Amino acid sequence: MRPSGRQPSDMRTVTFERKVSMKAEGSCLVTFGNTKVLCTASVETSVPGWLRGKGQGWVTAEYGMLPRATGSRNRREATAGKQTGRTQEIQRLIGRSLRAVVDLAALGEAQITLDCDVLEADGGTRTAAISGAYVALVDAVAWMEERKLTKGKVLKDSIAAVSCGIYRGTPVLDLDYLEDVEAETDANFVMTGSGKFVEIQGTAEGAPFDRSELEALMGLAEKGITELSAQQRAVLGQ
Amino acid sequence: MRPSGRQPSDMRTVTFERKVSMKAEGSCLVTFGNTKVLCTASVETSVPGWLRGKGQGWVTAEYGMLPRATGSRNRREATAGKQTGRTQEIQRLIGRSLRAVVDLAALGEAQITLDCDVLEADGGTRTAAISGAYVALVDAVAWMEERKLTKGKVLKDSIAAVSCGIYRGTPVLDLDYLEDVEAETDANFVMTGSGKFVEIQGTAEGAPFDRSELEALMGLAEKGITELSAQQRAVLGQ
Amino acid sequence: MRPSGRQPSDMRTVTFERKVSMKAEGSCLVTFGNTKVLCTASVETSVPGWLRGKGQGWVTAEYGMLPRATGSRNRREATAGKQTGRTQEIQRLIGRSLRAVVDLAALGEAQITLDCDVLEADGGTRTAAISGAYVALVDAVAWMEERKLTKGKVLKDSIAAVSCGIYRGTPVLDLDYLEDVEAETDANFVMTGSGKFVEIQGTAEGAPFDRSELEALMGLAEKGITELSAQQRAVLGQ
Amino acid sequence: MRPSGRQPSDMRTVTFERKVSMKAEGSCLVTFGNTKVLCTASVETSVPGWLRGKGQGWVTAEYGMLPRATGSRNRREATAGKQTGRTQEIQRLIGRSLRAVVDLAALGEAQITLDCDVLEADGGTRTAAISGAYVALVDAVAWMEERKLTKGKVLKDSIAAVSCGIYRGTPVLDLDYLEDVEAETDANFVMTGSGKFVEIQGTAEGAPFDRSELEALMGLAEKGITELSAQQRAVLGQ
Amino acid sequence: MRPSGRQPSDMRTVTFERKVSMKAEGSCLVTFGNTKVLCTASVETSVPGWLRGKGQGWVTAEYGMLPRATGSRNRREATAGKQTGRTQEIQRLIGRSLRAVVDLAALGEAQITLDCDVLEADGGTRTAAISGAYVALVDAVAWMEERKLTKGKVLKDSIAAVSCGIYRGTPVLDLDYLEDVEAETDANFVMTGSGKFVEIQGTAEGAPFDRSELEALMGLAEKGITELSAQQRAVLGQ
Amino acid sequence: MRPSGRQPSDMRTVTFERKVSMKAEGSCLVTFGNTKVLCTASVETSVPGWLRGKGQGWVTAEYGMLPRATGSRNRREATAGKQTGRTQEIQRLIGRSLRAVVDLAALGEAQITLDCDVLEADGGTRTAAISGAYVALVDAVAWMEERKLTKGKVLKDSIAAVSCGIYRGTPVLDLDYLEDVEAETDANFVMTGSGKFVEIQGTAEGAPFDRSELEALMGLAEKGITELSAQQRAVLGQ
């Protein structure tokens, strides 16, 4: 029934490749099927003005998409002179999600910026970005620890994200682009490795949904996140 | 326990005042406690370029906040030269929420713009905006119907929104500013008058939340939306 | 002869409502007929960079208009990414006008920002804004005095503004929108409570005007300002 | 008493040089003492969108100042990314002033843009710009007439502008920079060759002014404009 | 002598990988040593406004660099709100270079946009971008030919680019980052497969250079371009 | 053969006029035929942030063109809100060229900004700008030396620039606008008074060029620069 032939509760093939950037303190190339996102974590030993002198750090994210990551070319945001509302919404979500598992005091007065740049887009770019950015973040924190730049344990848990939706009446896990454009309901779940929710965003694209449908999506999300968390641990050698 | 002395499941005093604008086709001044939002609905008999010739209309929203709606003055976005990410996120949410109950084909080639400007902010500005914008929208649609500008029934349902959160460990309904800054979890629910979900946005500001906590919040939201929907019907004389 | 039935030397009904904002140090909702402007005065205990260390304060103004304050919706300036030339011209005028009655040294190193946001526009928004901003300013200065933040008497006089014009050959006071679009000459006068001029801006929209016409407008302006000043004193309990 | 040794009612030396631009349909290099402004008039055979199909033309102006026209270098507006409020205010004034003597219907569907670029600034740049732009405009209109692009007489009168002010208690004509920064009151007058007012902008920079002071300034302005108008006629060979 | 141990006339290892983008009509991942650039060619069947109706096409380029392509993180241009001067200069160079080998009339009314996004930067990003963009362009033209969208032979020659410089007194080929920052003279050469020059940009970063030094650089460039052209032919199966 | 009747190796008439600005520390009005550029040098006793505390100065340039410097009016960059890519490319070139002959350490912590504003454009504006800016720079450095603001000899050489091109098959010196639009190859050369190259930018506008053509252009450039350098020395009284 799904265009890809997957079962409703099947994730696409997911891969995480660490240390793909020669320069960044942490990096990860993550793929969810044909969606491919390059995540880098950059450590800077200063914090935004409003945090200065407070003895804590910050984690933030920026999101971008190459103009031809999609079926037809999108205008380059640097040329347009601003980020779209969609881009800002996504990068705010990535930043919030990662901060949920970071002890900012333990970072000291340092900032880690996660750049998530979509090389190919086939649905689920924000969930891939969160999942991959976490891997890059772990390596950046390790880099800081090696240099004794942290003050105690920085990471409180792991984090990953997945989308679910109601496609032709059936709840399905990890929507690809063809499913995404047609789904009646689309929901993104960000969860910790320990199985708690950090963010839920559900939107009725077609018909409004009811509580039982939402619960079905939550069940799928829990399954997907469990798999993603296991893969993250594996690639990180934990 | 709540700063305002409310019970966990109490809404603040909510008022809707219709036809407050001399010029707009529809308008509503909505208050949720000390939060006050002026909503106007403007009908234009043309649609954005990408919709032209498709025989359907559009509903969109813009959100703004007066610089001194808040405790300390915020920079005016028109002076800064751009809308913040937060503003864009909110106005996209308002637009999506209202479109969920509109039959765009029945609108014909017309656009309705909902401007939601916050005169005073004390938490819950986006939920007040959605709830008030619906009232303004109803009047704008009635204005169109009187002029025979529509093609059949435009509104499929009513829509309202409310926030819930976990404040000092207890799930509470309709957070005010003091609760909002301290809440561990903050969630916005947009629901139809018939009790279905159109949008759920839940964020762990402090500790991640679990399924039972989310369900408690949903229960509160359903209660709040029921009350708001009744008030909307009353003020609209339905 | 006037669309409103007023005599040439009649003002519209003018109201000033103080303390309308829960948060601002001073505020005033002013109406000139159907024109309605919300003015807030915000005190900040710092000054712009170029004034730092000079032992004096600053008073500045920003002006905005809600998109649907007018008969057809105007583009929101925050969306357009900049303030129009008209907006900048008006807010510079408001700021200059208020500074004319303020002893900046007596303010100490503090800044007061007057935000004048037009909720409904029916002609004369800039003159209403100046007149209302003065009331908000008085309350903000009182707020500072209560906290012993000033160095002596801040306000040297009161200030108010009114427009006059030549409408269908006759000099008239306080133009509303219908008169404004048709007036041959349009002039704005800003005057102190003691009857002196702070700013005169006269523009021939149609035919150039001569000295006797200008003098007729000045006479009307003096009458209007006298009335406005009396109302300001009354609402301020002076 | 004046820094330049001039009498209160003396203009600075004024020169108009026509046809200084190789390319523009009309041009004039105007000097008021050390203030030097290059004015070009460009004819385009199209009009702004909002005028299309109305059978009339438009006259508009843009104003700029070279970064080092002044004693210390100003930031280039093209680098800053926007025109200052002052620049916009001035170019709107220039445009309005010239339109006051133009029969827009006689222009046909054409637009004339007056570019006024300040090469050296020593006070009075906006009044020099208006006076010089008029000379450039006359030549551009003649250029159109030679090509039979006009529909009847385009120019209804001539236009010139001058500033006056109260300097150390004395009303003086045509302020230079040293006077301008110190003047208590500063007023710009735009008048037709036939002696009528098109625009008056008077501002109390120091103490508010009264009616008799304003009348003294008007008298000086009439004298200055009479001289400027005669010089314009002479240079134009009228 | 070179930091990399290369001989003065050695290129770094160069690779071209075709068809790396799932969506673009042509694409190439090019590496010059550690410099890695993703080039996509997007075909659009419309042309910029100024070319419409002229029966010819257009080729243009945009250049970007991921924020962490470099040793320390650069500000994202989309966040900054504009492209830097350097970025604009490079993308104009890429566009000009590719147009030099394209018969624009043979393209018909179509536009090909080359997006060159630097994933890793280690010197020579613009020369790698030109060389890789050519490969992507060839595939995009083939895509058009298959669909009979072209009017005759589009490509007149091949194109490649390389940098040379004087490093510690010795002319060297294909500077990497360490050489680039220290080079006295830095020159970029864009040449056709047939050995002619399309663009030369030589800059004395330290001491000015003389004709014999420039000729030495030209000789190296010819060697480098010959090798690059052969590799392009090989990867394209020509 | 040339539209102007010049021989292939003839420069246009070139003039340098010093001290044309009343305010700037150095200034030069330079003409290359009908191209006319006003260059001012402004000394500021501070440096950009990234140079602070390094005990050296900076030389930078900004380039602008009056809207009607050209045959048809160009949009004013200050109105457009940004400088074009062409403008940025040119001002970066001017800055680099002048820095090539300046000992930045000898400047101390001071910055000299060269503003090059094109009053009339007839080809070769960037080369005229560089040649004239050098003259303005010499006077600004002399101004600093008189005030003992420098630390030793600031200028290491003189600098001038000229364009050459292949016009209808013949290499020619100093292209005017008519030649420029038609030239197959266009090259700009920046050279020191001692005959060394600082910058070469050659572009094939039509057919690619070969080494012998480039050498012919270099020969012409050397002749032109020799003449310009002699004129610079003469006007500077060296």
Flag whether residue E189 sits within 8 Å of chain F, measured between CB atoms.
no
Average pLDDT of the residues in E121-136: 98
CB < 8 Å to E194, chain F = 208
Element (H, E) at F179: helix F177-182
> F197 vs E211: CB contact, 8 Å cut-off?
yes
Average pLDDT estimate for F48-60: 91
How distant is the alpha carbon of residue A232 from its chain centre?
12
For residue range C138-193, what is the model confidence (pLDDT) as tens digits?
Answer: 999 999 999 999 999 999 999 999 999 999 999 999 999 999 999 999 999 999 99
CB pairs under 8 A between C and D: 84
F218 and E196: CB-CB below 8 Å?
no
Residue E64, phi-psi category: left (phi > 0), alpha (psi -120 to 50), beta (remainder): beta
pLDDT at B18: 98
Percentage of residues in chain F having pLDDT higher than 90:
93
Q: Over range A164-186, report the average pLDDT.
A: 96
F150 is written with which tokens?
A: 């420098």
Cα separation values, F149 from F41, F152, F155, Å: 15, 9, 14
**pLDDT the model gives residue C37:** 98
Beta pairing partners, E28: E18, E39
* pLDDT score of C205 more than 90: no
Q: Do D68 and F115 touch (CB under 8 A)?
A: yes
Q: How many CA atoms lie within 13 A of C228 on its CB side?
A: 37
Q: Calculate how close chain A gets to E47, using CA atoms only, in Å.
A: 14
Residue F209 to residue E196, Cβ atoms within 8 A: yes
In the prediction, which pLDDT does B206 show?
83
Q: What is the pLDDT of residue A72?
A: 95
pLDDT of residue D79: 93
At E203, give phi and psi (nearest 5°). Answer: -135, 130
Minimal C-alpha gap between A42 and chain E (Å): 7
Chain E: closest CA distance from residue F81 (Å) = 11
Beta strands in C89-141 (DSSP E): 111-120
Cα distances (angstroms) measured from residue C33 to each of B221, C128, C131, D199, F132: 42, 10, 14, 27, 61
Give me B38's structure tokens: 């002026």
In this prediction, residue D126 carries a pLDDT of 98
Q: Do D199 and C199 touch (CB under 8 A)?
A: no
Q: Which of E3, E11, E12, E30 is nearest to E223 (CA)?
A: E11
Q: Is pLDDT above 90 for A49?
A: no
Mutate to test the interface with F, among E98, E163, E164, E197 (most CBs of F within 10 A): E197
Chain C residue closest in CA terms to B112: C73
Distance CA C110, CA C140 (A): 12
In this prediction, residue F7 carries a pLDDT of: 97
Chain B residues with CB under 8 Å of C77 CB are 77-78
Phi, psi of E41 (to 5 degrees): -115, 120
Rg (CA), chain B: 18
Q: Are D59 and F158 in contact (CB under 8 A)?
A: no
D184 touches chain C (CB under 8 A): no
- CB-CB neighbours of D116 under 10 Å: 26
Q: Do the chains contact at F204 and E214, CB–CB below 8 Å?
A: no
Interface contact flag, C22 B38, Cβ < 8 Å: no
DSSP state string for B138-202:
HHHHHHHHHTT--SS--B-S-EEEEEEEEETTEEEES--HHHHHH-SEEEEEEEETTS-EEEEEE
Residue spans of chain D under pLDDT 70 = none
pLDDT per residue as tens, chain B (238 positions)? 899 999 999 999 999 999 999 999 999 999 999 999 999 999 998 888 888 889 899 999 999 999 999 999 999 999 998 999 999 999 999 999 999 999 999 999 999 999 999 999 999 999 999 999 999 999 999 999 999 999 999 999 999 999 999 999 999 999 999 999 999 999 999 999 999 999 999 999 888 999 999 999 999 999 999 999 999 999 999 9
Tell me the sheet residues that pair with C163.
C188
Residue C85 has pLDDT above 90, yes or no: yes
Those chains having 3 or more beta-carbon pairs within 8 angstroms of chain D are C, F
pLDDT at residue F205 tops 90 = no
Residue F62, chain D, CB below 8 Å: the answer is yes
Cβ atoms of residues F204 and E98 within 8 Å: no
Among candidates C82, C89, C203 on the partner chain, residue whose Cβ is nearest the Cβ of D82? C82
10 Å CB burial of residue A53 (0-12, 13-18, 19+) is exposed
pLDDT at B46: 87
- In whole angstroms, give the CA distance from residue D168 to residue D165: 10
**Nearest by CB: B81 against C64, C82, C87:** C82
Residues in D touching F81 (Cβ below 8 Å): 81-82
- A211-235 vs A125-146: helix crossing angle, rounded to 10: 40
- Mark yes or no for CB contact E196/F214 under 8 Å: no
Does A188 have pLDDT greater than 90? yes
Comparing CA positions, the residue from B111, B112, B140 lying closest to residue B50 is B111
In the predicted model, what is the mean pLDDT of chain A? 96
What is the C-alpha to C-alpha distance for residues F229 and B202, in angstroms, rounded to an integer? 71
**Gap from E118 CA to chain A (nearest CA, Å):** 11
Q: Which amino acid is at C205?
A: E
Question: Could you say which DSSP state residue D50 is in?
Answer: G
Q: Does position C49 have pLDDT exceeding 90, yes or no?
A: no
Indicate the burial class of F49 (C-beta count within 10 angstroms; 0-12, 13-18, 19 or more): exposed
Q: C-alpha distances in angstroms, B3 versus B8, B176, B179, B184, E53?
A: 11, 9, 7, 16, 68
The answer to whether C83 contacts B87, with C-beta atoms less than 8 Å apart, is no
F115 contacts in D (CB within 8 Å)?
A: 66-68, 73, 76
Using pLDDT thresholds of 50, 70 and 90, give the confidence band for residue E59: very high
pLDDT at site B49? 86
User: Can you list the alpha helix ranges (DSSP code H) found in C27-123?
Assistant: 77-80, 85-99, 104-107
B85, B197, B201 member nearest A208 (Cβ): B197
Calculate how close chain B gets to C42, using CA atoms only, in Å.
Answer: 7
Which residues from chain E sit within 8 angstroms of residue F92, using beta carbons? 85-86, 89
Range with lowest mean pLDDT among A75-84, D44-53, F182-191: D44-53
For A156, phi then psi, to 5°, come to -90, -20
| pLDDT tens digits along A52-61 | 889 899 999 9
Question: Which residue, chain included where needed, has tokens 């880098």?
Answer: A40
Question: E strand or H helix at B60, and its extent?
Answer: strand B58-65
Residues 6+ apart with CB under 8 A from D217: D164, D165, D166, D171, D185, D187, D189, D202
Nearest-neighbour CA in chain F from E220: distance (Å): 13
> Would an 8 Å CB–CB cutoff place C70 in contact with chain B?
yes
- The chain A residue lying nearest E117, using CA atoms, is A66
Residues 106-135 of chain B with CB under 8 A from chain C are: 113, 115, 117, 119-120, 122
Residues F90-119 have pLDDT tens digits of 999 999 999 999 999 999 999 999 999 999
Rounded CA-CA distance E2/A118 in Å is 36
Residue of B85, B199, B211 with shortest CB distance to A92:
B85
Residue A109: its pLDDT value, please? 93
Q: Is the pLDDT of residue F1 over 90?
A: no
Residues of C whose CB is below 8 A from D86? 92
CA distance A165 to D217: 75
The answer to whether the beta carbons of residues F160 and F193 sit under 8 Å apart is yes
- Cα–Cα dist B86/B65, whole Å: 11
Instruction: Answer yes or no: do C21 and B120 touch at CB < 8 A.
Output: yes
The whole-number pLDDT of residue A46 equals: 87
Task: Give the pLDDT score at E73.
Answer: 97
Q: Does E19 touch chain F (CB under 8 A)?
A: no
* Cα separation, E154 vs E145, whole angstroms: 9
Say if residue C84's pLDDT is above 90: yes
How crowded is residue B153: how many other Cβ atoms within 10 Å of its Cβ?
10
| Proportion of chain B above pLDDT 90, given as a percent | 93
